[in-house]
Amino acid sequence: MRIDLISIFPEYFDVLDLSLIGRAQQDGVLQIHRHNLRDHTEDKHRSVDSPPAGGGAGMVMKPEPWARALEVVLADTNPALRPTLVIPTPSGELFTQDAATRLAEQPHLVFAPGRFEGIDERLTAWAAEHFEVLRLSIGDYVLNGGEAASVVIVEAVTRLIPGVIGNEASLQEESHSEGLLEYPVYTKPAHWRGLDIPEVVLSGNHAKTAQWRRAQAEERTKSIRPDLWQRYQSS
């Protein structure tokens, strides 16, 4: 998979050189390209924002530097492959595990994380001629910009690509993979500071353990995430 990230803070994405994603880049499973949005401005102040048309608080990102940066990415792309453009924004559709699974099947993702009050709306319309455009939010809270959200999405998506994480079986058994939260996990020692691992987990009876884990996952989901529980029951 190829990933392009465009930002006024391209160094923000240095974390993607660490750990499993860093390794996946070294192994050639992932190609990550960073771009400085200011390299695509034309004025001497390299400005990327201006006051909102119609008035209001804050500043809005101008569409032109984004369009130029995206054109540079497109110039380096097979035109037959329509890349996916992710615009992280708190006003977007909620990013979920299902969305991560769909994005993991794409050959080329481009991220356009805005700052300030967001990017001029016309950028989306222009970009839709060249990209599959997705406006995505990672949750109901507000961040200073879309960079952190982009890192979250990149991490959730790339770990689903074969060869990125070592143990693919662990993908099947984690929270959200079946619409349930994950069951409690334990490791040695069996007794620790007066607290014990549940007997069934130590019993060696795999069927009983699996049954217990399923019941725990359901119990947790019911009490912590009634919204997920309802969806799980009706699916």
Q: Which residues bind ligand 6GU (CB under 6 A)?
A: 88-90, 136-139, 141-143, 145-146, 149
CB of 82 to ligand 6GU, least distance (A): 22
CB of 140 to ligand 6GU, least distance (A): 7
CB of 156 to ligand 6GU, least distance (A): 12
C-alpha 98/C-alpha 92 separation (Å) is 15
CB of 114 to ligand 6GU, least distance (A): 7
Dihedrals phi, psi of 184, to nearest 5 degrees? -65, 145
CB of 215 to ligand 6GU, least distance (A): 33
Q: Which is nearer to ligand 6GU, 142 or 195 (CB)?
A: 142
Q: Which is nearer to ligand 6GU, 63 or 145 (CB)?
A: 145
Q: Which is nearer to ligand 6GU, 24 or 153 (CB)?
A: 153
Contacts of 174 (CB under 8 A, 6+ apart): 182
Q: Which is nearer to ligand 6GU, 77 or 89 (CB)?
A: 89
Q: Which is nearer to ligand 6GU, 83 or 146 (CB)?
A: 146
